[in-house]
Amino acid sequence: MGASESKLTFKEDVFRLAREDNISADSQWWAQFYQLPESSDDVFALWSPADVRNLTQSSASSPSSTQGLPQKNLETLIYVCVARLEQLQIKRCYADPHHPIAQEVLNCVRILTRLLPYIFETDRLHEWERRFFWEPRKPTQVWDKKHNRPGEYFDGLNPAKKFADEDDSNAEIGAPLGEQLIDLLVQYLFLAGFTLPKRLDSESLPDLNISFHIWNSGIGCRQSVGMTRENERNAVEVIRLLLSLFSRQLYLPPQIVAEIDVRSLSHMTAKPDRQVALSVICSLLNTVLKYNPASWRVPVELTAEGDSKAKLANLSLDLLLVLLMYPDQKGEQNAYRKSLGRLHRVEDFQFIQQGLTTVLMQPISGMSSYIPGQQKQVPWAPEMLILFWELLQVNKRFRSFIIETDRAHDFVVLVLFYAMSAKDQPPKQGIVRMCVLILQTMSVEPAFGSRLNKAFVGHDSLPSVLRITNFHGSYADFLITSIHTLMTTTQGRLESIYPALLAIVNNIAPYVRDMQRATSSKLMDLFISMSSPTFLLEKEPNHQLLMQLLQAMDAILEHQAAANRRFVEVVFRCRKRFKALRDFTVEGAVAELDRLAQERKDRGETGAASGIRSPTARQGSIDSVRSPVSARSPHLGNVPEHEAFAIGDDDDDEDADVNGLSSSTSFTAPLSASTSVVDEAVPLQSRSMTERARGKQPVGQGNFSRSTSRNTSTSSLPALITQPTSASQTSTNSFRPTPEWLDTWLPHLQLYGISKVIQDEHFRSSQDTAAVPTTTTEHPVLTASPRVQAFQWTSLSLGWYLGLLWGLVYSSDVAANRGINGIWTGTSIKLFGVLSSGGGGISLRSPRGAVDAVGDAIASRIGSLSFNSSQTTREV
């Protein structure tokens, strides 16, 4: 809209909509709304949030029977836009066949995109929305202001069609309006001259027939249709309206979002025409996978905002994921998930793998910026990770293609890169969770664990966030060390996924060979932290993490002991730690905590002695349990290593301390450098035991009982602690450890295999004190089928997953459309919280319920389970 006068006139007519209700539907006055605006900015600027919200309120002049409904003008405006979209597409309403239809189509699309979020956010309108959009269409009417009575009934999409008979007022005159709108929009995605190149018919007139041609070459198509920039911009506008229609999920709480039937998504995904579904999914998928950021010689952040190809790729990915992730409530199969699951050609999988890698590799390759050395992430890289996870879940052939080849190594590195890059950024903790669950999904396949034994020769070329000092070893060493880093340097921010991290170790443990000494020390490091009285007595379910870790260690020794001599050596050197765990008693542990608290009090650390936590400490940090009181940076490079087992120490003297770890790295010893050396002959938690308790201890080194349960599952959310506490306050919650509680899990720890290895090593050392036997190349036979710990979906975890996706969609829209031009900017979103940052940007904050939901869901669904495809594939 050019002149200021025309904009003022248009704005005055927008005001009139709210001020003067029940404007006649057959008036030509309505046409200006889809004829005058010239850009999306015009529509979003002239329809302010206040203007739209005024339309959602009941008119003061409306009769009492219509109170609680939106103004009639809102219904009429929606009817006008949908009717015009239908006329322009189907009825060839222009006398001049060469008249461009794009501008009017786009304005109708923009108005509806603006209106829908404000309808969804208003709880009072939910019942009206259901009837107006999703029940079969019936005649409507406006109030006859001249005679102060209800007007005659008419067809909302065709006001000229009247219904004089009162009985016709309840007749069904068409399909639900929402379904008609979705069908129209899908057809507009394949309309020649709008989203596809112009075509001429036999009479040299524009061909307006719908042709469901796939946009780009790739899956299902060998030749692109050749979309112009105008076609791409038009497709972007249509996809924005589809996302606006589907965003009903944004205005549902995370606890129930997966359980609510969103009619727009149900109609789109449940029973579409097969040809339509294939054309839509192939067009979206090919557009996403063919986009190559490296081919553009401008920074990625500029292309994402200003380039039509980048915008189309981003929004195509968002729409594709929203369709794929919808769990239909009526048991109908999601046609898009079904289509994705049926892909089977190797060339298709290669095309998918190349497209995923191209985008995910951008920050590693450093090809996305003019500035030398500056690495930029493609804005929709997190959504590409979601797409990768969806493909792993829904298509077992693709999962085998990735895992049973060396491509699995590349994706392990890529997924860990995004996890490590986001682990210290609170707004991105959802990305870390997703990355961990991707790795868990991959780890349930036996071939994955076996292929991780390949030597990692390209480690030195990795970005700094991934590099490990003096690293040498296999991909398994790299993965386990990275897991250790995620658990020990995040100060408890990731406590809800500690079970998932340990599940990955459990799943690969039976297949890991030739584990390096540094990696072995990492596992022992976690064991010492988790078996300490401080940790075990803090929260009731904390022992379940210890049980998971012991299962992994036992699996290594049961299946690959001969191929992991370094790990066996580390276990033998820490044998007193395992005996201390076997001799663990509640009263002895409490006495030990009292002694530590008293020593801190004697040093003047009154806060710690009285159980008061540091305000800067985060509850749930393994790192804080194992850290000295003195301040240090919580990074892997600063984590104290066991003296004989530090990274790069493989060539250290073999005569290092074999009686256990040094006192400087003892995590159950007093946390002070000046503490006197304690008697290593008595386990720490046994030092204050009563004579009665001591009498119950078995005689002899390594006398452990066999586990009576080998299928322990993590059934509740573990919470890790920050500082040791006194006996008078061993927990900040209502949990009080008792001997009866201890008996429920201590006898069932999987310590038999570890005890057997320690006994064998003790015998060997007594027979030959010269050296520990060298690594053997013998391939041991697996004595039993390894159990895996697979992730299973619940409504709570799916609610978190949908919140993560919609948070990314929302952030992408805000980044591309500043101010009030965002689709959902300023609306009352319930799925997550939106916080404004000091720099004018936004950050997303999940509601407390969402955080609890994903934590509980992840912890409760991880156990010792036999893997099959249904355990990682959501049934939809």
Reply yes or no on whether the pLDDT at 645 is more than 50: no
- Give the C-alpha separation, 795 to 329, whole Å: 11
Model pLDDT, residue 282: 96
Which string of DSSP letters, residue by residue, matches 497-519? GHHHHHHHHHHHGGG--S--HHH
Q: Is the Cβ–Cβ distance between 244 and 116 less than 8 Å?
A: yes
Model pLDDT, residue 424: 92
Give residue 366's pLDDT band: very low, low, confident or very high (50, 70, 90): low
Give residue 148's pLDDT band: very low, low, confident or very high (50, 70, 90): confident
Q: Is 374 left (phi over 0), alpha (psi -120 to 50) or beta?
A: beta
Average pLDDT over residues 5-20: 88
Cβ-defined contacts of 398-402 (< 8 Å, 24+): 398/343, 398/349, 398/352, 399/442, 399/445, 400/445, 400/447, 401/346, 401/349, 401/353, 402/349, 402/353, 402/442
Reply yes or no on whether the pLDDT at 661 is more than 50: no
153-198: per-residue pLDDT in tens? Answer: 888 898 888 887 666 667 889 999 999 999 999 999 999 889 999 8
Model pLDDT, residue 271: 80
- Give the C-alpha separation, 102 to 796, whole Å: 43
Model pLDDT, residue 838: 46
- Give the C-alpha separation, 94 to 443, whole Å: 60
Which string of DSSP letters, residue by residue, matches 399-411? HHHHHTSTHHHHH
Q: Is the Cβ–Cβ distance between 238 and 246 less than 8 Å?
A: no
Average pLDDT over residues 327-337: 84
681-737: per-residue pLDDT in tens? Answer: 333 333 333 333 333 333 333 333 323 232 333 322 233 322 233 333 344 457 888
Alpha helices in 574-674 (DSSP H): 575-582, 586-602, 606-609, 622-625
**End-to-end Cα spacing for the chain:** 46
- Give the C-alpha separation, 665 to 625, whole Å: 12
Which string of DSSP letters, residue by residue, matches 820-849? GGSSSTTS---SSEEEE-TTS-EEEE--HH
Helical (H) or strand (E) element with 268: helix 263-269
Sign of CA dihedral 470, 473, 474, 479: negative
Angle at which helices 543-560 and 565-573 pack, to 10 degrees? Answer: 130
Model pLDDT, residue 663: 29
- Give the C-alpha separation, 580 to 661, whole Å: 13
**pLDDT top residue among 568 and 768:** 568
385-443: per-residue pLDDT in tens? Answer: 999 999 999 999 999 999 988 899 999 999 999 999 999 998 899 999 999 999 999 99
Sign of CA dihedral 713, 715, 721, 724: negative
> Burial, 299: exposed, middle or buried (Cβ in 10 Å; 0-12, 13-18, 19+)?
middle
Which segment of 53-57, 219-223, 249-253, 607-611 scores lowest on mean pLDDT?
Answer: 607-611
Q: Is the Cβ–Cβ distance between 19 and 216 less than 8 Å?
A: no
- Give the C-alpha separation, 784 to 496, whole Å: 31
SS3 560: helix
586-606: per-residue pLDDT in tens? Answer: 999 999 888 888 888 888 765
Q: Is the Cβ–Cβ distance between 80 and 30 less than 8 Å?
A: yes
Q: Is the Cβ–Cβ distance between 157 and 192 less than 8 Å?
A: no
The dihedral over CA atoms of 466, 467, 473, 478, expressed in degrees to the nearest 10, equals: -20
- Give the C-alpha separation, 665 to 648, whole Å: 17
475-514: per-residue pLDDT in tens? Answer: 999 999 999 999 999 888 899 999 999 999 999 999 999 9
CA-atom Rg of the chain in angstroms: 32
Model pLDDT, residue 875: 33
Nearest to 177 by CA among 76, 275, 34: 76
- For residue 810, the Cα-to-chain-centroid distance in whole angstroms is 14
- Give the C-alpha separation, 312 to 232, whole Å: 6
Reply yes or no on whether the pLDDT at 269 is more than 90: yes
Identify which of 6-20, 344-358, 766-780 has the greatest average pLDDT: 344-358
Which segment of 38-52, 346-360, 841-855 scores lowest on mean pLDDT?
Answer: 841-855
Helical (H) or strand (E) element with 552: helix 543-560
* pTM attached to this predicted model: 0.82
Give residue 640's pLDDT band: very low, low, confident or very high (50, 70, 90): very low
Sign of CA dihedral 14, 16, 20, 22: negative
Model pLDDT, residue 167: 63
Cβ-defined contacts of 202-211 (< 8 Å, 24+): 205/97, 205/98, 206/97, 206/98, 208/89, 208/92, 210/89
Amino acid at position 571, single letter: V
Nearest to 410 by CA among 489, 486, 345, 466: 466
Please give the structure tokens belonging to residue 243: 């996302």
**Cβ-based neighbour number of residue 583 at 10 Å:** 21
Model pLDDT, residue 231: 93
- Write out 199-232 in H/E/C secondary structure: CECCCCCECCCECCCCCCCECCECCCCCCCHHHH
Amino acid at position 595, single letter: R
